[in-house]
Amino acid sequence: MAAEPALHDAPVAAGLAAEWPGLRLTWTRFAAVPGPSPPELRERLRALSDRFGGAQAIALRRQSIPHAYRVFFRHIGLEPDEQRTPVEALALERMKAGGFKSRSLLDDAITIAVMETSVPVWALDAARLQGGLELRGAERGERLGREPEAPGVPAGRLVVADAAGPLAILFGELAPGHGVTPASRELALFSVAVPGVPPIHVEEALWTVWDSVAGP
């Protein structure tokens, strides 16, 4: 069994922390080799599909953690019935497809973690990071990532960034060229807890992905 990686509480810009007490960005990094989902993980995904039916999907948004993300979405100008929270997006996908579809080791691990904790998890190629992560508003003229095709980011848009600039729009897309690929050999996972979400749920979500991806 690989040694458990350390979890880091990333800096949150002072204005954001003051406006939303309890807003947290937690991240970790560890060695891992992306690849196809193994049989045991696919079976776990099938079991999760069987447990999560229409009644659970309907009741989901009334549960405390999904509700907390819906409230936060509205506070930052996102309409959760149009841009779904991560757990609701996965639940809707399961309803449309009739089950959670297996895609890869990492994707399946993230799906299981999000559905079991209601907490979102994203993954980056850790080799592309410059320093640690932080949660802040974008500055004027910043771009999303460091690739030639990196799009601009509106000033003030909430982003997850490293020392060189934004790597992800908060609850949105990752920077081009910074996601995990088959060539990645070290992953950086991050999760965002909004006010009302206990830290232990974030830790459980990150450990769930790590245990599936970099376990025995």
Each residue of 41-92: pLDDT tens digit? 999 999 999 887 777 777 787 899 999 999 999 999 999 989 999 999 999 8
Closest C-alpha among 214, 192, 213 to residue 87: 192
- Within a domain: 99: yes
**pLDDT by residue (tens digit) across 156-168?**
999 999 999 999 9
At residue 56, the 3 state secondary structure works out as helix
- Name the pairing type of β-strands 158-162 and 8-9: unpaired
Q: How many whole angstroms separate alpha carbon 205 and alpha carbon 200?
A: 9
Domain containing 198 equals 8-210
pLDDT at 50: 87
Determine phi and psi for 56, rounding to 5 degrees: -65, -40
Count Cα neighbours of 101 within 13 Å in the Cβ-side half-sphere: 8
User: Is 215 part of any domain?
Assistant: no
- Asked, for residue 3, whether it belongs to a domain, the answer is no
What amino acid occupies position 184?
S
Is 75 domain-assigned?
yes
Does residue 64 form part of some domain? yes
pLDDT above 70 covers what percent of the chain?
97
| The total number of structural domains that make up the chain | 1
What number is the average pLDDT over the span 127-134? 97
Any domain includes 111: yes
In CATH, what number is assigned to the domain containing residue 139? 3.50.40.10
What residues form DSSP beta bridges with 160? 135, 168
Statement: residue 7 has pLDDT above 60: yes
Q: Is residue 35 domain-resident?
A: yes
Write the burial class of residue 156 (CB in 10 Å: 0-12 exposed, 13-18 middle, 19+ buried).
Answer: exposed
Closest CA to 68 of 193, 170, 179, 212: 193
- Position 216 scores a pLDDT of 60
pLDDT on residue 82: 92
